[in-house]
Amino acid sequence: MLLQKTLLSFFFFSLLLLVQSKHNHEVEEEEEVVTRSMFPDDFIFGVATSAYQIEGAYLEDGKSLNNWDVFTHHPGGRFGEINPSGLMFYNNIIDNLLLKGIEPFVTIHHFDLPQELEDRYGGWLSPHMQEEYVYFAKLCFEKFGDRVKNWMTINEPNVFTQFAYMRGTFPPRRCSLPFGNCSAGNSDVEPLIAAHNMLIAHAKAVKLYRNHFQPKQGGIVGLTANAFHYEPYTNDEFSYQAVERSYAFNVDWIFDPLIYGNYPALMRKYLGKDLPKFSKEEVELLKGSIDFIGINHYSTFYALDCFNSNDCTSTENRAIGGYTGRAIARNGIPIGDEMGVFGFRIVPYGMEKLLNRLSLRYPNTSIYITENGYCPPNYQEGTELLQDFTRIKFHQTYLASMSKAMRKGAKVKGYFVWSFMDNFEWIQGYNITFGLYYVDRNTMKRTPRLSAKWFKDFIANGEKSSTISTF
Ligand code: FCB
């Protein structure tokens, strides 16, 4: 195996930290109230982070360069064997979590991968990455699987491939006009190829886990995709079709193969030869290859029909293939209040509608909300934002919306706040603050915001209701 020398700490990793508490109360029906007791006893609450976004120490302890180091710093190269310090680092985290009664949910690959693999193969564009990924996943199952029972193979292949290979805003910065101005790339096909390799890599790792680790270790394995909800822009058939296409090209693109073994019919229809094909063996490998769906949900958009209307004025807002676009306002009225990430709006009802749709399309699969979170629109230095009432209201309203979907039958098993603490928000750097904990960027001191206290009380307190007003 070529990558006998993968460094542990340089591939991956995001941790969803899970805190659980037991309660025996009836489900509340009032819509303006959200309580712990509205959710089943074994429902899981937690917070989420990812390695590259919080760890720092980019060339310490034997870690070598990854794609984000090169993208955000200057080119270089330094490769090595499996890094014992990396293993020790994650062993310590896992052991300490368990010691505190916190159950880890681990994502094996969250956007960062060894620069060596970018240089050698062109990253996820190459099918070689499938074997490299499986090698790395195997290492994680072997080293941590005795204690880690909840695995996500890959974080957001749908977002990563669009940014890295369609818009060129993530490493390896590949794209073509009109979607972006990069030195190389093809925005029409490369995101599809990269996602194809990620899906097959996932399925191969799951097969390995199920055959060699699951029987002994008894864990579960899923994959996480980003999923917005889409509302029709106008009240006509074309708009409803645009909603369907938006879902197909953004969400079903990832989960249809993992559950049914093939890409959604709408993608096959519109993309034709541009869409890679799965072989018969791959179809069998992919079908049913997740124990649960992981959803990162942040916002809702109006879906634009780029065929029959002139609404799609900007390529910036077009989905893969360019057949649909998205808007944040209709007739000058925004779909919801603003957040710090450009285009994100607060639309709590989107959570329920998204979950209802997922439950119809994938009726037998459990769902975890692996990320849901709020960042204020205007970044302010210092402690002014410690009293983060809007973030609390955000979570209360989204939780209430999630609970409505659950009452209608959505099999949601857990909810993780993004994020445990302020971190490095990829190309938006340090000016976006998603944390329940405020991090002073100079001293690294962490201070709980009001939302951290609220979430702690919410999880611990089954009866006390926290009344919410709507946005
Ligand atoms: C998600 C990413 C996560 C973080 C949040 C805000 O798309 O998975 O790393 O950047 O968005």
Q: Which has the higher per-residue pLDDT, 169 or 23? A: 169
**Span 209-245, pLDDT tens digits:** 999 999 999 999 999 999 999 999 999 999 999 999 9
CB of 260 within 8 A of CB of 287? Answer: yes
Exposed e or buried b for every residue in 248-268, given b needs 16+ CB within 10 A? bbbbbbbbbbbbbbbbbebbe
Domain boundaries, the chain: 14-469
Q: Ligand 1 centroid vs 252 CA: distance in angstroms?
A: 19
Residue 70, classified by CB atoms within 10 Å of its CB into exposed (0-12), middle (13-18) or buried (19+), is: middle
In this predicted structure, what is the pLDDT of residue 469? Answer: 58
Question: Which residue from 14, 109, 296, 428 has its CB within 8 A of the most atoms of ligand 1, so it is best to mutate?
Answer: 296
Q: Ligand 1 centroid vs 174 CA: distance in angstroms?
A: 20
CB of 348 within 8 A of CB of 471? Answer: yes
How far apart CA 84 and CA 61 sit, in angstroms, is 9
Is 156 one of the annotated active-site residues of the chain? yes
pLDDT band at 79 (very low <50, low <70, confident <90, very high): low
Q: How many CB atoms lie within 10 A of CB 387?
A: 12
Average confidence (pLDDT) over 85-106: 96
Catalytic residue among 103, 116, 156, 231: 156
Average confidence (pLDDT) over 279-283: 98
- Closest approach atom of ligand 1 to CA 375: 6
- Closest approach atom of ligand 1 to CA 373: 6
In this predicted structure, what is the pLDDT of residue 75? Answer: 52
Structure tokens at 210: 């199920």
In this predicted structure, what is the pLDDT of residue 329? Answer: 96
Query: For residue 318, is pLDDT > 90?
Result: no
Least confident range from 72-76, 260-264, 323-327, 391-395: namely 72-76
Q: Ligand 1 centroid vs 273 CA: distance in angstroms?
A: 31
CA–centroid distance for 414 within its chain = 14
How far apart CA 451 and CA 173 sit, in angstroms, is 36
Average confidence (pLDDT) over 16-43: 62
Q: Which has the higher per-residue pLDDT, 72 or 187? A: 187
Query: For residue 14, is pLDDT > 80?
Result: no
Average confidence (pLDDT) over 373-397: 87
- Closest approach atom of ligand 1 to CA 224: 8
**Span 110-151, pLDDT tens digits:** 999 999 999 999 999 999 999 999 999 999 999 999 999 999
Least confident range from 66-70, 93-97, 188-192, 358-362: namely 66-70
pLDDT band at 323 (very low <50, low <70, confident <90, very high): confident
Q: How many CB atoms lie within 10 A of CB 67?
A: 24
- Closest approach atom of ligand 1 to CA 53: 9
For 287-334, the three-class secondary structure string (H helix, E strand, C coil) is CCCCCEEEEECCCEEEEEECCCCCCCCCHHHECHHHCEEEECEECCEE
- Closest approach atom of ligand 1 to CA 159: 7
Is 131 one of the annotated active-site residues of the chain? no
How far apart CA 278 and CA 262 sit, in angstroms, is 7
Query: For residue 183, is pLDDT > 50?
Result: yes
In this predicted structure, what is the pLDDT of residue 60? Answer: 86
Element (H, E) at 150: strand 150-155
pLDDT band at 10 (very low <50, low <70, confident <90, very high): very low
Q: Ligand 1 centroid vs 1 CA: distance in angstroms?
A: 32
Ligand 1 pocket, residues with Cβ under 6 angstroms: 50, 53, 155-156, 159, 226, 296, 371, 418, 425-426, 434
How far apart CA 432 and CA 426 sit, in angstroms, is 10
Residue owning the nearest CA to atom 7 of ligand 1: 226
In this predicted structure, what is the pLDDT of residue 11? Answer: 34
Q: Ligand 1 centroid vs 426 CA: distance in angstroms?
A: 8
Question: Which amino acid is present at 212?
Answer: H
Question: Which residue from 15, 295, 341, 426 has its CB within 8 A of the most atoms of ligand 1, so it is best to mutate?
Answer: 426
Q: Ligand 1 centroid vs 212 CA: distance in angstroms?
A: 31
In this predicted structure, what is the pLDDT of residue 24? Answer: 35
Q: Which CATH number fits domain 14-469: 3.30.70.580, 3.20.20.80, 3.30.70.20, 3.20.20.60?
A: 3.20.20.80
Query: For residue 390, is pLDDT > 60?
Result: yes
Question: Any residues with CB less than 8 A from the CB of 378 and at least 6 apart, and which?
Answer: 340
Q: Which has the higher per-residue pLDDT, 380 or 413? A: 413
Question: Which residue from 49, 299, 425 has its CB within 8 A of the most atoms of ligand 1, so it is best to mutate?
Answer: 425
Mean pLDDT of the chain: 89
Least confident range from 108-117, 379-388, 396-405, 446-455: namely 379-388
Residue owning the nearest CA to atom 4 of ligand 1: 425
Secondary structure E strands in 219-281: 220-226, 229-232
Q: Ligand 1 centroid vs 30 CA: distance in angstroms?
A: 32
Query: For residue 28, is pLDDT > 60?
Result: no
- Closest approach atom of ligand 1 to CA 425: 10
Pairing, β 329-330 against β 333-334: antiparallel
